């Protein structure tokens, strides 16, 4: 090949093969690379920069609410993992075990943390003695390991990055409030920063976190109609405190067990971004987390003054957005395709005629809309356009989710939807585990959540057994 | 105890037992807690906030030089670790091995990364094909594991946090330049942000990183006269590229092996801060990385208007520094001791008389100096005082290091210093491994580095064997 030795990348269309489209985007947008370590991925600079932006925003939202970051050990001794019965049952089957240190066999094997409740409890036992020591509002950014059989980039891998919040409180009320508050932080983050509509809800007992008394979730709907659990918040009651013997002296000098919560979100959010906003041209990034928010592409860049002017407006835009100017020797066509693939929210085209007219063409990634902007107005207009991109992305995703949400009153209706219409199914439920099991087995759907808002009374009867209904649930096939 | 139920914390004096003083500070300043996981520590909010500040500054220094962050897997398959002979010999004896995933025995055991050269090489092989793909300037923030026998908080633990830079270049020259550039970044960071004087130098072959052609180091001197290696930068030549089969096509279309570097610094830096600047009142934090740079302590806070005024000046100071106002019901004496223990750089005392006079007392943690500052001048004066603290800390540490650096011309002189005078020893060396081994065995000192600057010709002869000397080295007992 000649000077321009890079070809425009091609990806499978999402209508042809959604799973293949997804992995194509992960690779071609240079988010990840596969590694020699089975089930583990490499997060490349572009993908990691998205994660860094997610971290930065979330971390400040957590700190605003008084949370502090800590770092706990990577390993959990087997005896510590076993202290809370439900918890160990949930996690032991899927952990990686360290059995050797150097040349020596360990006396007690250590698991690589799949989650850190047990370590936090062990620490709380050391540092919590009086009501004066409460609450502790902790968070940790780290990687965790779960030995999954089938894996997919960002969605399910043996190692993933996440944050796990762990808090401990004097009263049940305070802990419950914390659990709901953090769910709201996740929902706010998803909506405002990822332009991703989510259903806030509570999990059924079957879908609850191992050891929790209540699990809250935000559920998003992907392009292919599958649900993606995108963040969870758990209320533990005093179960972990009792199992680990964490006690404090209250104001009346009585010994009490404190109440705990935990809440987590992961690199899965990047998978959610891809499958909520992406299209057949590739990734489409929400401006708040895009590593590059604006790319400047000079047109006819061999003409005098074009590169200079492109660099000049890049500086101006750099004051209000994360910007990159691509002055490489690739063709404009190649550059357009490349930055579409990478989901850059805005493209600024600048050529000799634009310079004459004192204006540039700004193209939105989300809908292809072109706007002429006076060069003098760039510092004002770029932030407005970025906001418009976020709003447009959110509205589009919301409209699609609404169009893909169906109500079912009978088992037959539900079966018809499950078989033929990808999306959320809203249906009444009696509260029995057997009905959940049956719907999963026969229709392949799981209960996503009982919504916290807008729970509608669709019928008096459980969609499955016909007995008296207790709740309206969201159901769906899920990642 | 009554309302004020917290007692002033006591620590062992450093003259009495330096090791005990060190761990006392770690615990009493609430930097760490011990965990149930042998050899691993818990980094508590105050300690982790120091690390976050270190990360934030370093990360921006790296990014200024064009480095990008990535994330590699936590595990390394045994066969991958073994690809570079010297490297595996150096690391295999001290790694933790995962042998089980869930209930199943793994076909190939995986080590928990002790360092990630092998993973980066494996990735480079996938993504580096042409000179157009070079250089790659990568960095990773993560935790690593080395199965140490004896451990101490921050200084040596089985798991620690660090950053590891990994870069790959077209030419030897470029890679060597990168290696030295990053050493300079570390030295700059240590000096300017940690107020810590360091010797920049090159390691002898014996002390080189496993698989490197050259290892550069910054060496600091602790309060007790022991050296602490505080950051290293390695030049690998094309050794790793050859071992992993990483090749690229150059501009003339010829296949070539690229050249690599790596460089790292760790939570050890927190240990270095403690042992460089701490004293018998506790920690003394460099302002740049102190979680709280200024603490406001109201005096006679029951008097009308004191708390209000304290909160008011806290707001003002908050615009120029990280500030905290302690309005708790502890006594001022308790607060003074507590924030000295925690190493807060500046304390602002404000009482009724101060308010009358429109001024406050500002006390420096590093030297106890008190300054009267007009309340209206706080926004100007606080940043100046923080700079003065950094400068004072640096000058004090430099003077102590210089006073604790000795020259030795003969083995007897060196033995006398090693036995009686804690500190650096400067002495000539013939270049032979045997002399290094002998000095270590008989005097307990190791070669720290051949300095890059101010290498002096102290004598013609090796301090150990009397043969012709090649270099002046820094020697010392080390952590």
For the ranges A257-261, A275-279, A392-396, B9-13, the lowest mean pLDDT is seen at: B9-13
Per CB-CB distance under 8 Å, the chain A contacts of B42 are 70-73, 119, 123
Q: State residue A4's pLDDT score.
A: 46
Per CB-CB distance under 8 Å, the chain B contacts of A324 are none
Residue A158: pLDDT band (50, 70, 90) is very high
Condensed to tens digits (0 to 9), the pLDDT of residues B46-79 reads 999 999 999 999 999 999 999 999 999 999 999 9
H or E stretch covering A359: strand A359-364
Q: Check CB contact under 8 Å for B35 and A119.
A: yes
Cβ B261 vs Cβ B175: under 8 Å: yes
Question: Collapsing DSSP states into helix, strand and coil, what is residue B11?
Answer: coil
Residue in chain B closest to A41 (alpha carbons) equals B73
Q: How many CB atoms lie within 10 A of CB B251?
A: 9
Cβ A176 vs Cβ A167: under 8 Å: no
d(CA B81, CA B112): 11
Q: How many CB atoms lie within 10 A of CB B273?
A: 28
Residue A90: pLDDT band (50, 70, 90) is confident
Q: State residue A7's pLDDT score.
A: 76
Condensed to tens digits (0 to 9), the pLDDT of residues A338-368 reads 999 999 999 999 999 999 999 999 999 999 9
Residue A411 pLDDT more than 80?
yes
% of chain B residues with pLDDT over 90: 94
Residue B353 pLDDT more than 50?
yes
Q: Check CB contact under 8 Å for B44 and A73.
A: no
Nearest to B393 by CA among B236, B287, B240: B287
d(CA B137, CA B69): 9
Of residues A44, A69, A80, nearest to B36 (C-beta): A80
Q: Which two tokens stand for residue A124?
A: 């709380």
Q: Which two tokens stand for residue B219?
A: 């060496």
Question: Distance from first CA to last CA of chain B, Å, rounded?
Answer: 41
Condensed to tens digits (0 to 9), the pLDDT of residues B207-219 reads 999 999 999 999 9
User: Cα–chain-centroid distance for residue A297?
Assistant: 31
Q: Check CB contact under 8 Å for A37 and B138.
A: no
Q: Check CB contact under 8 Å for A100 and B109.
A: yes
Mean pLDDT, chain A, integer: 96
Q: State residue A5's pLDDT score.
A: 54
Residue in chain B closest to A34 (alpha carbons) equals B123
% of chain A residues with pLDDT over 90: 94
Q: What is the DSSP string of B313-331?
A: HHHHHHTTS-EEE--SSS-
Cβ A114 vs Cβ A146: under 8 Å: yes
Query: Chain A: nearest CA to B68, how far in angstroms?
Result: 6
Residue A88 pLDDT more than 90?
no
Per CB-CB distance under 8 Å, the chain A contacts of B112 are 74, 98, 112
Condensed to tens digits (0 to 9), the pLDDT of residues B259-287 reads 999 999 999 999 999 999 999 999 999 99
Of residues B36, B42, B112, nearest to A98 (C-beta): B112
Q: State residue B92's pLDDT score.
A: 85
Residue in chain A closest to B27 (alpha carbons) equals A127
Q: State residue B93's pLDDT score.
A: 87
d(CA A8, CA A337): 7
Q: State residue A152's pLDDT score.
A: 96
In chain B, the domains with their CATH numbers are 18-277 (3.30.930.10), 292-389 (3.40.50.800), 405-476 (3.30.110.30)
Q: State residue B136's pLDDT score.
A: 98
Q: Check CB contact under 8 Å for B45 and A138.
A: yes
Residue B432 pLDDT more than 90?
yes
Condensed to tens digits (0 to 9), the pLDDT of residues A433-463 reads 999 999 999 999 999 999 999 888 999 999 9
Per CB-CB distance under 8 Å, the chain A contacts of B120 are none
Length in residues, chain B: 479
Which residues are within 8 A (CB) of B1 and not within 5 positions of it... i.e. 6 or more apart?
A: none
Residue B106 pLDDT more than 50?
yes
Size of interface A-B (CB pairs under 8 A): 154
Of residues A95, A98, A138, nearest to B96 (C-beta): A98
- Residue to substitute from A80, A102, A125, interface B, most B β-carbons within 10 A: A102
Condensed to tens digits (0 to 9), the pLDDT of residues B330-339 reads 999 999 999 9
Nearest to A112 by CA among B72, B34, B143, B71: B143
Residue B3 pLDDT more than 50?
no
Cβ B320 vs Cβ B383: under 8 Å: yes
Q: Check CB contact under 8 Å for B102 and A119.
A: no
Q: State residue A1's pLDDT score.
A: 39
What is the gyration radius of the CA atoms in chain A, in angstroms?
Answer: 25
Residue B454: pLDDT band (50, 70, 90) is confident
Q: Check CB contact under 8 Å for B33 and A97.
A: no
Condensed to tens digits (0 to 9), the pLDDT of residues A253-297 reads 999 999 999 999 999 999 999 999 999 999 999 999 999 999 999
Residue B4 pLDDT more than 60?
no
Q: Check CB contact under 8 Å for A100 and B97.
A: yes
Question: Collapsing DSSP states into helix, strand and coil, what is residue A265?
Answer: strand
- Residue to substitute from A28, A42, A55, A138, interface B, most B β-carbons within 10 A: A42
Residue B84 pLDDT more than 90?
no
Of residues A42, A70, A147, nearest to B45 (C-beta): A70
Q: Check CB contact under 8 Å for B142 and A143.
A: yes
Residue B400 pLDDT more than 90?
yes
Cβ B74 vs Cβ B113: under 8 Å: yes
- Residue to substitute from A98, A116, A135, A144, interface B, most B β-carbons within 10 A: A98
Q: Check CB contact under 8 Å for B143 and A74.
A: yes
């Amino acid at each position: 090949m000649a000077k321009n030795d890079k070809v425009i990348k091609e990806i499978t269309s999402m209508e042809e093969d959604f799973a293949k489209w997804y992995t194509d985007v992960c690779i071609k947008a240079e988010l990840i690379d596969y590694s020699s370590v089975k089930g583990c991925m490499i997060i490349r600079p572009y993908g990691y920069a998205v994660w860094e932006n997610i971290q930065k925003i979330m971390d400040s939202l957590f700190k605003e609410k008084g949370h502090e970051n800590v770092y706990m050990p990577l390993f959990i001794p087997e005896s510590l993992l076993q202290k809370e019965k439900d918890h160990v049952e949930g996690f032991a089957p899927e952990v990686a075990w360290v059995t050797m240190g150097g040349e020596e066999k360990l006396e007690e094997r250590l698991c690589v943390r799949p989650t850190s409740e047990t370590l936090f409890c062990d620490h709380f036992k050391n540092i919590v003695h009086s009501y004066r020591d409460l609450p502790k509002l902790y968070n940790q950014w780290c990687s965790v390991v779960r030995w999954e059989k089938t894996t997919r980039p960002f969605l399910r891998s043996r190692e993933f990055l996440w944050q796990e919040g762990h808090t401990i409180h004097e009263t049940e009320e305070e802990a419950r409030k914390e659990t709901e508050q953090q769910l709201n932080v996740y929902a706010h983050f998803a909506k405002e920063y990822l332009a991703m509509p989510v259903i806030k809800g509570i999990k059924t007992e079957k879908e609850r976190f191992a050891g929790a008394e209540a699990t809250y979730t935000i559920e998003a709907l992907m392009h292919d109609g599958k649900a993606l659990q995108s963040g969870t918040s758990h209320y533990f009651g005093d179960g972990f405190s009792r199992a680990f013997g964490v006690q404090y002296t209250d104001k009346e000098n009585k010994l009490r067990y404190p109440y705990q919560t935990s809440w987590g979100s992961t690199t899965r959010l990047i998978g959610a971004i891809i499958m909520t906003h992406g299209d057949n041209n590739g990734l489409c990034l929400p401006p708040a987390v895009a590593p590059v928010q604006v790319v400047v592409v000079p047109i006819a860049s061999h003409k005098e003054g074009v590169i200079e002017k492109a660099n000049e407006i890049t500086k101006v835009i750099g004051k209000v957005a994360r910007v990159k100017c691509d002055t490489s020797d690739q063709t404009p066509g190649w550059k357009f395709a490349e930055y579409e693939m990478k989901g850059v929210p805005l493209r600024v085209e600048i050529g000799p005629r634009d310079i004459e007219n004192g204006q540039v063409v700004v193209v939105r990634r989300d809908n292809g809309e072109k706007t002429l902007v006076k060069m003098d107005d760039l510092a004002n207009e770029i932030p407005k356009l970025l906001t418009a991109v976020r709003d447009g992305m959110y509205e589009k995703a919301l409209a699609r989710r609404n169009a893909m949400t169906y109500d079912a009153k009978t088992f037959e209706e539900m079966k018809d939807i499950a078989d033929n219409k990808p999306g959320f199914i809203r249906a009444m439920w009696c509260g029995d585990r057997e009905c959940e099991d049956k719907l999963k087995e026969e229709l392949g759907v799981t209960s996503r959540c009982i919504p916290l808002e807008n729970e509608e009374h669709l019928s008096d009867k459980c969609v499955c057994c016909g007995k008296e209904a207790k709740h309206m649930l969201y159901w769906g096939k899920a990642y």
